Amino acid sequence: MIYAAFMVRERERRRVRERLVTLAGAGLDAGEAQREAIALLRRAVAFERWCWPLTDPGSALATGGIAEFDLWAELPRIAVLEEHGDITSKPRLVVGPRASITLSAATGGDLSRSRRWRECLRPYGIGDELMTVCRDRHGCWGSVELMRDSDEPAFDEEDLDLLHELAPVLGTLLRRSLLAGAQPVAAERPPLPPATLILDGELRPASWTSTFRAWLSELGPEGAGDAAELLPPAVYEIGTRLLTPADDATGLPAFARTRTRTGRWAVLEGAVLEGAGDGHVAVTLRDASSGEIFDLLSLAHDLTRRERQLVALVREGLATGQLAEALSISPHTVQDHLKAVFAKTRVRSRRELVAQLSGQMSIGR
């Protein structure tokens, strides 16, 4: 009887794996892809509440995401403790050998050893949590966090191994969803002057420049109100990362590229202040450069290192012969590389290619 139940469970999980692989190639935008994936994961791993932030693949800092839970008021504190200060750390999961971890395993079954659980999860009746960083060979594109109630059994080792196995599939799903619904931008958006936010040593907003609220309206929902209550989670993550002691740091950078609510490409980056502001953090919000957009979209389109080198030269306007000379390859090989790039990016000309990889296409957030 036990063996039969085990085999049924394994067959269902195999079907879930296969359907997630298919879903990763379905061309859905991030929100649609995430909800479809959650429905599949629920068939293999029982849970109710969940959170699935998207991240910049180069830094693993939050750039958006969706959730089904009642922890919205705790998000700033959760962001801080997931970055550093708890028994589990998302950055260490990103750079470590395992892509998944459960609170029950990390704490040896005593969830109270987790500060994040004590302060943020327990008051809402949450028990165990299974966190998985969704990473493929291009980086970490998000982290899915599955939660069980305190009166439910903890996630077991099979649950943990399944999500670890699925991490590259979920990473690819998120990477491809970044490209869903690309259309030409009708008109160039006017630049928005950079803004700076100063956080004190406790990551409380101390002061900000006049354009900061305009940036909040770009990064947040309609009707953004008080600045201190609507800071993007990445702001807290950046501040925590910069203030983390050097001997406990992971080496991940403190910046994030993101698509704003109005379709603008933006960068959030931070630096620790010295002098009179010693111990404070400055977080800058600005328009992303074409190079920063190109780097991100090249990863999203699965371009190889050689293909990225070629497209970088195409962006400079080099003709086929010049490309061949610059890369020490034949014109025929240049054309072969371009055909492969056109197929990956689904464009038909060099002009469309440059527009696609320079952020001049409107892509669903």
- Cα 49 from Cα 302, distance rounded (Å): 32
Two structure tokens written together for 145: 């966090």
Structure-token match 């630049």, residue found:
191
CA-closest candidate to residue 359, choices 217, 260, 214, 232: 260
- Cα 145 from Cα 216, distance rounded (Å): 26
Is residue 50 a contact partner of residue 38, using CB atoms and an 8 Å limit? Answer: yes
- Cα 40 from Cα 226, distance rounded (Å): 38
Span 183-189, average pLDDT: 51
**Does pLDDT of 360 surpass 80?**
no
More confident residue, 227 or 78: 78
| pLDDT for 4 | 44
**Does pLDDT of 353 surpass 80?**
yes
Task: Give residue-wise pLDDT tens across range 303-342.
Answer: 999 999 999 999 999 999 999 999 999 999 999 999 999 9
**Does pLDDT of 255 surpass 70?**
yes
- Cα 91 from Cα 252, distance rounded (Å): 8
- Strand 126-136 to strand 100-102: parallel, antiparallel, or no bridges (unpaired)? antiparallel
Residue boundaries of the structural domains of the chain = 2-177, 186-288, 291-362
Cα 65 to chain centroid distance, Å, stands at: 8
**Does pLDDT of 183 surpass 50?**
no
- Cα 176 from Cα 300, distance rounded (Å): 6
- Cα 84 from Cα 311, distance rounded (Å): 38
Per-residue pLDDT band at 275 (split at 50, 70, 90):
confident
- Cα 167 from Cα 136, distance rounded (Å): 7
Please tell me whether residue 181 adopts helix, strand or coil conformation. Answer: coil
Two structure tokens written together for 175: 């990477």
Per-residue pLDDT band at 228 (split at 50, 70, 90):
very low
**Whether domain 291-362 has CATH 1.10.10.10:** yes
Span 285-304, average pLDDT: 94
Two structure tokens written together for 251: 């080496």
CATH class label, 2-177? alpha beta
CA-closest candidate to residue 239, choices 211, 212, 214, 270: 270
Q: What is the CA radius of gyration of the chain?
A: 22
**54-to-21, 33, 71, 171, 240 alpha-carbon distances in Å:** 19, 12, 17, 10, 18
Is residue 39 a contact partner of residue 191, using CB atoms and an 8 Å limit? Answer: no
* 138 φ, ψ (degrees, to nearest 5): -95, -10
pLDDT-wise least confident of 26-40, 185-199, 289-303: 185-199
Span 73-102, average pLDDT: 95
Two structure tokens written together for 183: 């259309």
Per-residue pLDDT band at 226 (split at 50, 70, 90):
very low
pTM over 0.75: yes
**Does pLDDT of 77 surpass 90?**
yes
| pLDDT for 10 | 82
**Does pLDDT of 91 surpass 50?**
yes
| pLDDT for 229 | 53
pLDDT-wise least confident of 95-99, 158-162, 357-361: 357-361
The residue type of 178 is: L
Share of residues in the chain with pLDDT > 70 (%): 91
Q: Where are the beta strands (DSSP E) in the chain?
A: 49-55, 62-68, 100-102, 126-136, 139-149, 183-184, 195-199, 205-208, 255-259, 265-272, 281-287, 361-362
| pLDDT for 80 | 95
**Does pLDDT of 84 surpass 90?**
yes
| pLDDT for 186 | 43
**Does pLDDT of 44 surpass 90?**
yes
Q: What is the CATH number of domain 186-288?
A: 3.30.450.20
Same fold, 186-288 and 291-362: no
| pLDDT for 279 | 86
Is residue 61 a contact partner of residue 55, using CB atoms and an 8 Å limit? Answer: yes
| pLDDT for 112 | 97
- Cα 328 from Cα 203, distance rounded (Å): 51
| pLDDT for 247 | 82
Structure-token match 């089904």, residue found:
68
Beta-bridge partners for 284:
196, 269
- Cα 153 from Cα 167, distance rounded (Å): 23
Average pLDDT, the chain: 89
| pLDDT for 39 | 96
Two structure tokens written together for 344: 């990956």
- Cα 22 from Cα 37, distance rounded (Å): 11
| pLDDT for 227 | 42
3-state helix, strand, coil in the chain (%, to 5): 50, 20, 30
